[in-house]
Amino acid sequence: MNDFALDVQDLVKIYPGRGGRTIRAVDGMSFKVRRGSIFGLLGPNGAGKTTLLKTLTTLLEPTSGTARIEGFDVVRHPLEVRRRIALVLQETAVELFLSVRDNLLTYARFRGLRGTRASQRVDELLGRFHLESDAGRKAQDLSGGTRRRVQVAKVFLADTPVVFLDEFSTGMDPHLKRAVMEALAAEAAGGRTIVLTTQVLGEAEELCDDILIMNRGREAARGDLHTLKLLSAGLYEIAVTFDRLPATIEEDIARLSPLRARMNQNTVELAVKAEEAQVLEIVTALAKRGRALHVEVSGASLEDVFVQLTGEPGAASGEEER
């Protein structure tokens, strides 16, 4: 078998839309993912991430093209594929009437763990995901973030070589998210392949060693963080903190036509595409508008690359038909 856990060729998924029109949710994607990597699928709302994940995990049949997971074709050998994957969907369910512990135990049994091995493993995961104090509570009584943790913990009960996670961190507080991210990194270091989608670019930046940015069903960019950042050479992030925001600041910023701009309290942050010499001019001009306490200039972040490739975050309409 080759080194690739995923091998996708010309994959297309078309949904029927209103009035006989169609939605090309996945519009000809080809890529391979190496074993043991953490592969991040990024893209604005409606980009096709969940649809792609569903076709890769046999929940949806592709309209055309092929996808192989660990060498098995998702259409011709769906059972072989399912044996090798664990999946947490955006809307993944837990058994609402079962306790947290029983949810995990049921899943452990489903995955072939028995007796003390199953309960030991469940206890270990309850600890790892800080769920001990909730172990006896029914899933229906949990907060959204805690329920999400139960769903994600399930993935670690299975020894499947490939794990798919659709927006795993939704509703998790930063502390728990960190615990889950560490657990995921450890699994990948142990040889499992992790495929995740996320809207939180910082997560991808920290966790993924291979990133694919998709937009409108197609690949917009692919590579590791370093490669993606090179795509945005000439992009700068500027942050200026004033003692208080100058009255004309909004117009001042608009005149610079930044790629993105943000204001919070007395700090303005903007990303601009410019020559190095211009950056200094921009910063100086901005700082003169008021009393600048702090100025920071840095290279592009993954967010800048993302915005440049896909338009404003969330700008691509989820409901648009094409």
For ligand ATP, the binding residue among 12, 15, 137, 231 (CB under 6 A) is 15
In sequence order, which ranges of 43-200 are alpha helices (DSSP H)? 49-56, 78-83, 100-110, 115-128, 144-155, 174-189
Q: By CB under 6 A, is residue 40 in contact with ligand ATP?
A: no
| Amino acid found at 228 | L
Q: By CB under 6 A, is residue 319 in contact with ligand ATP?
A: yes
Taking CA 294 as the corner, what is the angle to CA 290 and CA 300, rounded to the nearest 5 degrees?
110
Rounded CA separation 142/282 (Å): 50
Provide the minimum distance between the beta carbon of 90 and Mg ion in the complex, in angstroms, as a whole number: 5
267 forms bridges with which residues in the sheet?
241, 264
> From the list ligand ATP, Mg ion, none, which binds 43 (C-beta under 5 to 8 Å, kind-based)?
ligand ATP
Provide the minimum distance between the beta carbon of 13 and ligand ATP in the complex, in angstroms, as a whole number: 8
Rounded CA separation 290/249 (Å): 9
Range 287-316, binding ligand ATP (CB under 6 A): none
For ligand ATP, the binding residue among 43, 246, 258, 290 (CB under 6 A) is 43
Binding track, positions 199-228, relative to ligand ATP; x by CB under 6 A: x-----------------------------
For ligand ATP, the binding residue among 45, 64, 257, 298 (CB under 6 A) is 45
Rounded CA separation 28/205 (Å): 25
Rounded CA separation 11/23 (Å): 14
**Nearer of residues 31 and 236 to Mg ion, judged by Cβ:** 31
CB-based contact 122:136 (threshold 8 Å): no
For ligand ATP, the binding residue among 37, 50, 146, 198 (CB under 6 A) is 50
Closest alpha carbon to 217 in 17, 50, 1: 50
Q: Which residues bind ligand ATP (CB under 6 A)?
A: 15, 23, 25, 43, 45-51, 90, 199, 318-319
